Every structure is written in structure tokens, then in C-alpha cells.
Structure 1
Amino acid sequence: MGVRKKTNKNPPVLSHEFIIQNHADIVSCVAMVFLLGLMFEVSPGAHVEWILIANGFGGCLPGTAKEPHTEMMPSTVNHFHHGIKDLATVFFYMLVAIIMHAIIQEYVLDKINRKMHFSKTKHSKFNESGQLSAFYLFSFGWGLSILLSENFLSNPISLWEGYPHTLMPFQMKFYYICQLGYWLHALPELYFQKTKKEDIPRQLVYISLYLVHIAGAYILNLNRLGLVLLVLHYFVELLFHVSRLVYFSNENRQTGFTIWAVLFVLGRLLTLSLSVLTVGFGLATAEQQGLDLAAGNFNILFVRITVLAAICITQAFMMWKFINFQLRRWREHAQAQSLKKKQAPSKSKSKKDKANGVNGVSSNGADSPRAGKEKSS
């Protein structure tokens, strides 16, 4: 169910304010239409394609595990490939992401904001970090479980061996569907959350980068490499937003930013190393070369250079933003320290002047009321 924010105002129906206040309820009703389609077979199979994973393949693949007591009979494992039907599934889970966003905002973040009494600037940043922390934590844990179950970490050669990886297990395909749905939901949330005009370009940039890289890895059948890089990136981003939440609660706690800075640089180096190793060396020496759209093979020099260029440019852009962020922090810290040093001598001088002034008045008889009486007499 959606969440409706309670307000005393009753805006006109279908006005901008009405849609913003009740967007979670409206989206819930739309999603309910697809769910009801599973119960009532009005159009058989149509609603299933919107909600469940389509483009499936049932069978035993090379290297598929078999049961110990049924060695003569291969185990049936369902694998999936990407297709045009995925657009409908991504749309449905985009609606789910909007509903979950509203639930987290209403029942968690808004309650904390009322207790902490943040300023408007901190309020928006706290909401952003709170939403992203929940998403990064969920995505990191889910992605790591897929990596461990598929043995991608223990066998790095599998990142490029057997390319094209057109068939995926259910968990991996569902992971990519949810990732695309979440980052697509971030676009209408710019309107629902009344994002400031000066913040919209920044958010559009990183939303677009996520969508381009995730969709690129999904379409080009680089899903294994994309999964590893996403898990690595989400872990570093999770640490940053958790550190920012801690900083908002107590500004003296900045240790998390130092740890994040070190891991951020290491994350960029690991991302570039894995990308060059997989795309630059692994796919370049793979057996299947050439462009074959029907087979899902994109292993040609132009595609490899384009993928590496996109990854390198993105990592360089992130490092440039990171360096500017650190320089701004050091500059603000230096200014704060200089202000403290200037205020300390001024306070000590004012205390000394006050002390000297009191002593001078008490020691000078001409300035005291009693001395004035004596002079007049």
C-alpha cells in the first residue's frame, strides 16, 4: 500500500500539489491493476510478463551442477536472457521502487527529521543519504550473495570465459531488472520530492551514469563484470552515505569520511584494473570474435574500446569530483581553524581589558562616587 502524507490543506484534485502529496497512493493503484491481473485471467499471460521475469530458458548448461545420486540425468536449471519484454518488467518494479521510497520516507526519515530539527539544507541531504543508504545496503548484500553463489570471486576467469554470457540465472537477471527500475524511479522522484532547480543537474548526471552503465552491461552481455563492479561501487558509496548520516547526528564524528576516502581511491583502481583485465585482455583473446546480434556477441574492437573509454572517463570524472570535494573540505577546515585562532586572542584581550578597567576604577578615587562626595564637601 502507498503512504499518504497527512496535511491540513486539501489541494484541488489532479493539481500539482495533489499529485505530489498522494503520488504513492496513485502509483499503488496502478501497480494493483497488474497484481489483480494475476488473479483474474482477463488477458492470459499479459500481466505475467509485466511482473514476472520473462525470456526464460529451461535446461542444463555446460558446467551446471548435478545431483550426486542422479549423475546420469542432468538437472534442469532455468536461465534467462534479455529481451524486449524486460521493458514491461522494469516499468512495474519502477512503480514498486516509488512505493518503497515513500514508505521509507514517511515511516523512517521523516520521524528522525522531526526529532533532530535539521535545517533545510541538512534536511534534504539527510533524506538523500537515508534513501541511498537503504538502497546501497540492500543492493550490496544481494549482489554479494549472487557473486558467492556463482563463484565469480573465486574464479575471476569466469568474467570473460565463455563470452557471450547470454543466459543468466534468475537471481542475476532479477537483480539487473531491480537496478534499472530503481534508477528509473529516481527521475519522477525529482518532481515528487520538489528537488531544487540548482540540484537537478547534479542528480540527473549521476542517475544517467547509473542507467547507461547498468543497461550497457546488461545489453552487451557483460553482466558478470557489471555485477562485480556494481557490488564494489555500492560498498564504497554505502560507507560514504552512512558516514554522512553519522556526521549529521554529531559533527565531530568524521572518521568515516577518512576511511571512505581511502576506499574510494582503491575502488577506482580496482574498477579500472578489472575492466582492463576483462575487456582489454580477456575478451581480446577470447575464441568467439566478431559482431553477431543474433548470438549476442559484441566482441569486436570498436565495442571493447567504447566500453573501456566509457569506464575510464567515468572513473576520471568521479576522481575529479572527489579531489574537488577533498580540497573544499580542507579549505573549510583551514578557515575554521584560522577563525578560532583569531577569536582566541581577541577574547583573551577583552578579558584583560575588563580586568584592568575594574581595577583602575576601584583604585582611582576620583572616579568613584565616594570621592565625588568628598570633593564636593
Structure 2
Amino acid sequence: MGIRKKSTKSPPVMSHEFIIQNHADIVSCVAMVFLLGLMFEVTSKFAVLFITVQYNVTISTNGPEETPINHFHHGIKDLATVFFYMLVAIIMHAIIQEYVLDKINRKKHFSKTKHSKFNESGQLSAFYLFSFGWGASILLSENFLSNPSSLWESYPHMLMPLQVKFYYICQMGYWLHALPELYFQKTKKEDIPRQLVYVFLYLVHIASAYILNLNRLGLVLMVLHYFVELLFHVSRLIYFSNENRQLGFSVWAVLFVVGRLLTLSLTVLTVGFGLANASNQGFDLLTGNFNILFVRMTVLAGVCLTQAFMMWKFINFQLRRWREHASLQTLKKKQAPSKNKGKKERANGVNGVNSHAADSPRSRKVKSN
């Protein structure tokens, strides 16, 4: 993330600098238009598409007291809802930046590199903490963890509880908001390709799980991944406050490898074995059934390639750290003898300091009478 420089001179209206400085206020006004649309009957039907979750299906439970349960499925109207919550994500990003991160930056006086990384980790720590907590509560309430076979049983999982669908809507809205943030935060050109790959991988995996009705598997994998990423960015924030505190990176390195293995295991178990042995093999858009060999192999290949890419980046990162640590240790060893030599030279009278007893003035003994 780039550093926004404040200037005493106000930029021209609708110029690039004006939009960047006031983008949170502009986006807030756009979001307010949709909220005001709910107040009028003429525009309420249009505004509802953006604000509320669409495609409601009411299911009656069998029993003495029939209690209707609302479930939801996905559709093209979800794009409007994702757009609205993308605006909300931009507003929340600006609030966290201005009222939390900027205040800490002013106190710490970070360098430009640390400033950028601190902002990135601060924003992602807040998002990962919120997403992990919300996703874990859904997993517990829906009993997905206590019954792992529910990840593939009764597929396709076209009907979702409100919390699951809204979770996916917010996730897609957040990662879409990262694209305009590249412009708003004045991201350096050399950092843009890395950020685009990062955002693209998130959007493809989340949207694929949502469209292919693998929302239960996707939810479990997101919670697992967000926990590991939360630990990394919190460790980086702690490291910026005190560079001697690096224990978090060691714990993260172990959990990162474990997370990749669990992700592969759950995906192979669900897609490679669970869905492959299911009785409802076939392709049907109306029922949302995508349980065919081509789709299963595509999903497995996509997850495996992504995990391999992440491990490759992780190994390169660790090797670079080890090289830097080794070079630092070598430099310290080279400096140690020179320091000892300097002490000996000073002890032997170098730089105008003599410690020989013959050269130093002797104190005269006072004869006692």
C-alpha cells in the first residue's frame, strides 16, 4: 500500500488527487443513494437488489408446529449485492486506515517500506480476524465440523442458510474492493502484479465454491486458511513494534505447512472420494448438480496447483530468510576479531594511550619520619 501525502493546497475537483483523498466520502455517498432508495416505493424494489440477500426459498419443517425455515440459492442478482458490499468494504478500509493505522504510523515513524507493509498487515489482520470468527461460528452452528461427511453428502448443496450465503457475498465484496484500492492507495507499479495475482486467486476459489455448490467445503477451507494468514500478519505487526519478537513467524511456518496438507486432504476426501462415489452423477444446471468427472478433476487440479504455488513461494521466502540470517552471522563473526584486535592495540598504546608501567608517571613514596 502506498503512502498518501497530505498537501496544504486542495487539488482540483474530480482530479486524480481529489478522488484519492476523498474516495471514502464519494463511496459513502453512492452507498447512501441505495439506502435512501429503500424509503420510496418507486425505487425500493431496485434498491433491495443491492442491499438484501436475494433468492429466498421457504421450507416448512414436518412436525406438530410447522416452522418455516428460510434458505437461499445463488443467481445473477447476487452481482448487485456483491457490488454494494464492495462499497461497504471500501468505507471500512478507509475507517481502519484513518482512525487506527495512520495514528500508529505517526507515533512509530516507520520507513516507507515498513509503512506500506504495516498498512497491509493491519488491514488484512482486521479482515482475517473478522472472517475467521464469523466463519468458525457458522461451522459450529451448522455442525459441519462434527459431521465431516456433510461436506459431500446430499450434494448439490444449492440451498444455503442466510449466514452462509451472506458470508460468501461479503467475501467476494471484500476481495473485489481490493482492485480499486490499488488506485486509491497509490500502489507502486512493481507491487501491482503481486497484488493482482493475490486477489485473483481468492476471487476464483471463492466464486467457484459458490457457483459449483461446494459452499460447505469452501467455508471450511476459508476458515482454515484465514486462521493461518491471521497469525502471519499479527506476527508481522508484532515484529514491527519489536524486531526481537520473531516467535510468531516460527509458529506460522509450521501451521502454514499443516494448513496446506489439511486443505489438500479435505479437498481430495470431498471431491476425489465423496463426490466420486455419490449416486447422483451428472450435470444439471436446474438442480445445480456439477458432479461430473471433468468438474471434479478441474477442482482438484486448481486446488493442488494453488497449494503447490503457495508452498513454492513459502520455500523461497524461508530460503531467503536463511540466507540473510547466514550472511548476518558471517558478518558478525568477521567483525568480532577486528573488535578484539582493536582492544588489544588500545591496550598496547595505540592511538596515544600507553599502559606500560615504565612510561607512566610513578607516584613518589612519602618517607615516614
TM (norm. structure 2) is 0.93
| Residue among 242, 245, 249 paired with 1:253 | 245
- Aligned-partner residue type, residue 206 of structure 2: I
In the TM superposition, what is the alpha-carbon distance from 1:352 to its structure 2 partner?
A: 1.5
Q: Which runs of 4+ in 1 moved over 3 A?
A: 4-7, 360-365
In the TM superposition, what is the alpha-carbon distance from 1:347 to its structure 2 partner?
A: 1.3
| Unaligned ranges ≥5, structure 2 | 362-369
Aligned to 1:194: 186
Q: Aligned partners of 1:45, 1:5: CA distance in 2, in Å?
A: 42
Aligned to 2:54: 54
Alignment identity in percent? 80
1:270 counterpart = 2:254: no
- Aligned-partner residue type, residue 292 of structure 1: D
Structure 1 window deviating more from structure 2 (350-359 vs 218-227): it is 350-359
Helix, strand or coil: the match of 1:168?
coil
Aligned to 2:366: none
1:275-314 maps to which residues of 2 (within 5 A)? Answer: 275-314=267-306
Helix, strand or coil: the match of 1:78?
strand
Contact 1:28 1:99 in 2 (8 A): yes
| Residue among 192, 195, 205 paired with 2:197 | 205
**Could you say what the CA RMSD is over the residues aligned between the two structures, in angstroms?**
1.7
Aligned to 1:82: 74
| Residue among 316, 330, 335 paired with 2:327 | 335
Cα deviations across residues 93-131 of structure 1 (Å, max 9, x unaligned)? 000000000000000000000111100000000000000
Q: Aligned partners of 2:66, 2:6: CA distance in 1, in Å?
A: 57
In the TM superposition, what is the alpha-carbon distance from 1:74 to its structure 2 partner?
A: 2.7
| Residue among 174, 177, 189 paired with 1:182 | 174
Aligned to 1:359: 354
In the TM superposition, what is the alpha-carbon distance from 1:309 to its structure 2 partner?
A: 0.1
Aligned to 1:31: 31
- Aligned-partner residue type, residue 55 of structure 2: N
Cα deviations across residues 28-85 of structure 1 (Å, max 9, x unaligned)? 000000000011223241101110001110113xxx6x7xxxx323321100000000
Aligned to 1:162: 154
TM (norm. structure 1) is 0.91
| Residue among 146, 149, 157 paired with 2:141 | 149
Q: Aligned partners of 1:50, 1:13: CA distance in 2, in Å?
A: 28
Aligned to 2:365: none
Aligned to 2:45: 45
Helix, strand or coil: the match of 2:71?
strand
| Aligned residue-pair number | 355
Aligned to 2:99: 107
Aligned to 2:65: 73
Q: Aligned partners of 1:123, 1:74: CA distance in 2, in Å?
A: 57
Q: Aligned partners of 2:144, 2:194: CA distance in 1, in Å?
A: 34
Contact 1:5 1:21 in 2 (8 A): no
Helix, strand or coil: the match of 1:138?
helix
Helix, strand or coil: the match of 1:157?
helix
Q: Aligned partners of 1:9, 1:98: CA distance in 2, in Å?
A: 25
| Unaligned ranges ≥5, structure 1 | 369-377
Helix, strand or coil: the match of 1:145?
helix
Q: Aligned partners of 2:118, 2:7: CA distance in 1, in Å?
A: 22
